[in-house]
Structure 1
Amino acid sequence: MFHYLKFANYFITTLLGVTAVLFAQYWILFGFGIFIAFYIIGDTFFGEDLSQPNLTKKWALNAMLYASVPTTFILLTVCIWLVTPYDWAAMHWLSANVEYDFVAAKANTSIIEIFVAVIFCGLMLSGIATVVGHELIHRIGNKKAVTTGRCLMALSFDASFSIEHVFNHHVHVATENDPVTAPRGRSIYKHVPIAIWGTNKSAWQIEVKRLNRKKQRVLSLHNQFITGWLMTAAWLGFVFLVGSWQGVLFVSGVGLVAKITLEIVNYMEHYGLVRHPRERVMPKHSWNTNRKVSCWAMFNLPRHSHHHAKGAVPFEKLEAMPDAPVMIGGYISTIVLVLLPPLWYKLMQPKLQHWDETMANESELAILRLQQGESIASDVNDRRLV
């Protein structure tokens, strides 16, 4: 039973985080600090999960995945409430019944606390909606799963992720044709806009080719790139009705943080790794981690090496791949390091050197020569001869 329940931990931390945002004021800062500390400390001291349990209760696994829908609804409802100028009768009723004045707390929330709430809620949305959306859009034979995944991704301006991620990223990972694989030396601040533009461009091109092949109009509702953005527009239109422009501005910020978080995760999952386009994707072409807290909170997404080697494998069957290239730490702690490029480069240098010396083949070393000059690959060859 534990191996099922362990994947429910993120729902608990998200609901606790939502409660902190609902109580507003300094509770937002307190909740954000506890949230970040839990995942960094947990990944640092709780060790790895190398277990490979045979989880056969699909209904329980699916229930946890689809529980993200009501959880996301609760999160975004609280987001809208925090900034809307409208007076909600339900909040007066809640204040009267729990003996805490939520209306007054909201009114006394500072700009700094609102700003932190945007980041806090964006991180929670990325975990509860983006991670689950990623899992569901891979189930391309299940229309309900893909549609639910697209709806979840639309909240962070990324419904087209279902196109680009499955049909481009997984095909071209670790090559120059993959917009989310960052070459060595590119900072996260340069990479995020490149990745956002590149993935949207790729998704559009994929849809154009698909529709031309089916002899359907590109500028129509058959185009999933267009319908994806219409989903996002419909969501923001609804937010405007119930939360005015303040609500739209806030949830747009939350969605943008979630989208940026996704690209940061893509960056650290594939940074500096290369592959010849004609060679198959192997576990060595993605950075992997088996840290317990990250794996349990993100439905085994950190077991990324197996996910890319076999993209159709559901999250509960992803293997630990202890021989795959290992990420610096857990996901949250690594996100923090990525935001400090000099430190990130310094910590990644020995890991990249180890990959070059023990995992890269001759065609991959040739690619590295073209990317960064003759010296790197030549040094590697010299070490191998010693």
Structure 2
Amino acid sequence: MSSFRVFKYASPLLIYVGALRAFTGTGLVVWLPVLYSFVVVPLLELLLRPDPRNLSAAGEELARRNPVYDWLLYAIVPMQWGALALFLQGISTEPLSGADLAGRTAVMGLLCGTFGINVGHELGHRVKKSERALALTLLLSSLYMHFYIEHNKGHHKRVATPEDPSSARYGEALYPFWWRSIAGSLKSAWHIAGAEARKEGAGTFSWRNAVLVFVLVQAALLVLVGAAFGAAALGAFLVAALLGILLLETVNYIEHYGLQRKATAGGYERALPAHSWNSSHVIGRVMLFELSRHSDHHYLASRKYQVLRHHDDAPQMPTGYPGMMLLALVPPVWFYVMNKRARAATGPAEAATALAIQ
């Protein structure tokens, strides 16, 4: 059973194999990873029942100690950079049709979101410095390194409050949320890094400011890509990175939509499972390394992906993450499906307060 669990978490590598085929092929094969992720998986998750079962205490301990779960994440780092190099090489050397160029860029964007940012997110919560360094390496491949600071030191403290740019408010549509979250997260990360630099006796514009360093490193990568592969490849990389970022921000949108922590004399109540939308739909869970068991992640951020738990008191999504992301793209349908669930989860008074804050 333990071996099967490890194997199922290797299933996202099917998307990676499809991506490699897309970067060397033309026609329909180029679009297969996108079709699998946003057509096949959502359809399957409409038919398959979610699995809310948790590991036993003994099973959880075995999974926690099994190093293969970590090795799988480590392997994704060179795989991600190898895929990026293959993508850039193909763009710079092959005469591609508009459809093939768009398909390859979309697939690279999918890798930037699922492997670059999502696996970077998982490793960014680890204690070991080596694992956090791997997280930054992955986030660099998606040009979103400041996420490391804002997510860990901003979002997890302010989640489901009006102060958090990454928590979607009741009645807020996805598209304005993108702008608010991207700009607000960068601003928050800059303030956090600047405060830490000043605490160490350095200025805001110094090498102690991690966000400033991240921006310069990302700029150097763009110069390198442009010099090595040309302007067309550089443009495609920028679009792919943007797609990865929008995938992340769409996930942020669905994870906390309309949920709000109650204010207390000292700030806000502790973040509980009730403050994150949860999904136990299996395909989406393993596709994103259990990210959809988000309630437990916020309840105990240090818990590794393979032992995240289902909570009965967490609000449940009607389907898995891929399907919910598609739903969010059509705001009237999203509101029709989710507003009544948000009111049931938080109460009409809290929902009305969240709407008034916009």
The amino acid that maps onto 1:170 is H
Q: Structure 2 counterpart of 1:256, which letter?
A: L
Structure 2 residue aligned with 1:229: 215
Could you tell me the TM-score, scaled by structure 2's length? 0.91
Q: Find the partner of 1:26 among 25, 28, 50.
A: 28
SS at match of 1:67: helix
CA contact (8 A) 1:133 1:148 kept: yes
Structure 2 segments unaligned to the other structure (5+ residues): none
Q: Which amino acid aligns with 1:302?
A: S
Single out whichever of 52-61 and 299-308 deviates more from structure 2. Answer: 52-61
Percent identical among aligned pairs is: 26
Show the 5 A alignment for 1:121-136: 121-136=108-123
Superposed displacement of residue 41, structure 1: 2.7
Q: Does 1:320 align with 2:306?
A: no
**2:353 aligned partner, one-letter code:** L
Give the secondary-structure state (helix, strand or coil) at the position aligned to 1:41: helix
If you compute each CA radius of gyration, which structure gives the higher value, 1 or 2?
1
- Which residue number in structure 1 is paired with residue 353 of structure 2? 370
Aligned length: 344
Q: Is the aligned partner of 1:204 residue 2:190?
A: yes
Residue deviations 1:136-185 (CA, integer Å, cap 9, x gap): 1111x321111111121122221011111011100010101100111111
Q: Which residue of 2 aligns with 1:306?
A: 296
> Residue 38 of structure 2 is aligned with which of 36, 39, 46?
36
Map 1:174-213 onto structure 2 (within 5 A).
174-213=160-199
- Aligned position for 1:296: 286
Q: Distance in 1 between matches of 2:221 and 2:7?
A: 31
Once residues 317 and 273 of structure 2 are traced to their aligned partners in structure 1, the CA distance between those partners, rounded to angstroms, is 13
CA RMSD in angstroms comes to 1.8
Contact 1:187–1:341 (8 Å) recurs in 2: yes
Counterpart in the other structure of 1:89: none
Partner of 1:12: 14
Equivalent residues of 2:50, 2:282 under 8 A apart: yes
Query: How many Å separate the matches in 2 of 1:322 and 1:74?
Result: 41
Residue-by-residue CA offset, 1:293-332 (whole Å, 9 max, x unaligned): 1111111110000111111211122111133101131111
| Contact 1:25 1:110 (8 Å CA) reproduced | no
Provide the rounded CA distance (Å) in 2 between the counterparts of 1:205 and 1:339: 31
SS of equivalent to 1:255? helix
Tell me how far 1:369 sits from its aligned partner: 4.1
1:381 counterpart residue number: none
Match of 2:77 in 1: 69
Q: 1:208 to 1:127 in 2, by over 3 A?
A: same
Name the residue aligned to 1:339: 329
- Equivalent-residue separation in structure 2 for 1:259 and 1:161 (angstroms): 10
Structure 1 runs of 4+ aligned residues shifted over 4 Å read: none
**Structure 1: distance between partners of 2:33 and 2:297:** 32
Contact 2:168–2:256 (8 Å) recurs in 1: yes
Closer, same or farther: CA 372–60 of 1 in aligned 2, 3 Å: closer
Deviations 1:332-362 (A, max 9, x none): 11111100001000001221132134xx8xx
Secondary structure, counterpart of 1:9 in structure 2: coil
The answer to whether the 8 A contact 1:154-1:229 is kept is no
Find the aligned partners of 2:346 and 2:234 in 1 and give their Cα distance.
Answer: 47
Partner of 2:159: 173
Give SS of 2:312's match: coil
Aligned to 1:204, the other structure's residue is in SS state helix
What amino acid does structure 2 have at the position aligned with 1:345? F
Which one of the candidate residues 29, 37, 54 is aligned to 1:51? 54
Q: Would the aligned equivalents of 2:15 and 2:33 in 1 still touch at CA under 8 Å?
A: no
